[in-house]
């Protein structure tokens, strides 16, 4: 197969949770540019509808869906709407996530639980529901969005978000184990671990601690608007057919220090 065909996503169907803004929006655009039809879901459907209008200009079909990834009924409706519209699911990008800043000794159980429930349990619930469809077809790609925060700790003066660290570390372990479980079914399960990218979630830290953060990024810059596209397209395409259980780090060298 020609290498261009390996990366071609024409007529593939990709679900991107949290796909209306930030990193999810960037990855959705990358998949669409390679020909994939999209399902964008988030708690606020109007944001998905706005993003869908923009992405349809790339010549692909886009379905906006309201979905809270902590609610199994919402996820089941997401799967059903996708199958009704497209008849298939080829790719799942588990991108929906939240964070909460507080010192460990002051963090409320409620805030800890919200982060774990969204970032980890939401990833599990979506993978479980979509995975049942993929198991029946004996093929599929699941891409879990982790973080460099899941690879190591961070000094308190840089970031106070232990629940986020814990959730992303767990997503990495979940990715590796699920990859082993579903490899015999031709389902590849991988993770992307972004470093610091300007998003609504990272906005405060980047504005207030820019110099400190850049000291720990060898490329001396934050992630840009195109820096995740190639990673997600690779893991969504046939080019990664023999890659599973992998964590693809996109961080400008931060984790290499």
H or E segment at 82?
helix 72-86
Q: Phi-psi region for residue 11, left (φ > 0), alpha (ψ -120 to 50) or beta?
A: left
How far is residue 95's CA from residue 117's CA, in Å, rounded to a whole number?
14
How far is residue 137's CA from residue 152's CA, in Å, rounded to a whole number?
37
Collapsed DSSP state (helix, strand, coil) of residue 192: strand
Q: Is 240 a catalytic residue?
A: no
- Which of these is catalytic: 13, 28, 41, 164? 164
User: How many of the other CB atoms lie within 10 Å of CB of 160?
Assistant: 17
How far is residue 154's CA from residue 7's CA, in Å, rounded to a whole number?
36
H or E segment at 37?
strand 37-42
Q: Which residues does the annotation mark as catalytic?
A: 164
């Amino acid at each position: 197969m020609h290498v261009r065909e390996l990366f071609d996503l024409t007529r593939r169907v990709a679900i991107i949770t949290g796909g209306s803004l930030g990193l999810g929006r960037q990855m959705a655009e990358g998949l669409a540019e390679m020909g994939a039809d999209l399902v964008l879901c988030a708690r606020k459907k109007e944001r998905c509808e706005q993003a869908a209008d923009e992405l349809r200009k790339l010549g692909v079909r886009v379905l906006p869906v309201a979905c809270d990834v902590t609610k199994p009924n919402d996820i089941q409706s997401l799967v059903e709407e996708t199958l009704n519209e497209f008849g298939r699911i080829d790719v799942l990008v588990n991108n929906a996530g939240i964070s909460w800043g507080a010192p460990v000794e002051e963090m409320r159980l409620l805030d800890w639980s919200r982060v774990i429930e969204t970032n980890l349990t939401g990833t599990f619930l979506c993978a479980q529901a979509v995975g049942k469809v993929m198991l029946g077809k004996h093929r599929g790609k699941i891409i879990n969005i982790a973080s460099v925060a899941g690879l190591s700790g961070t000094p308190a003066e840089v970031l106070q978000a232990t629940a986020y660290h814990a959730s992303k570390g767990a997503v990495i372990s979940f990715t590796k184990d699920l990859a082993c479980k579903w490899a015999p079914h031709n389902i590849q399960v991988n993770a992307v671990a972004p470093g610091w990218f300007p998003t609504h979630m990272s906005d405060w830290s980047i504005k207030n601690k820019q110099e400190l953060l850049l000291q720990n990024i060898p490329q001396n810059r934050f992630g840009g608007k195109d820096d995740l596209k190639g990673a997600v397209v690779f893991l969504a395409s046939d080019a990664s057919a023999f890659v599973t259980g992998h964590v693809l780090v996109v961080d400008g060298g931060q984790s290499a220090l």
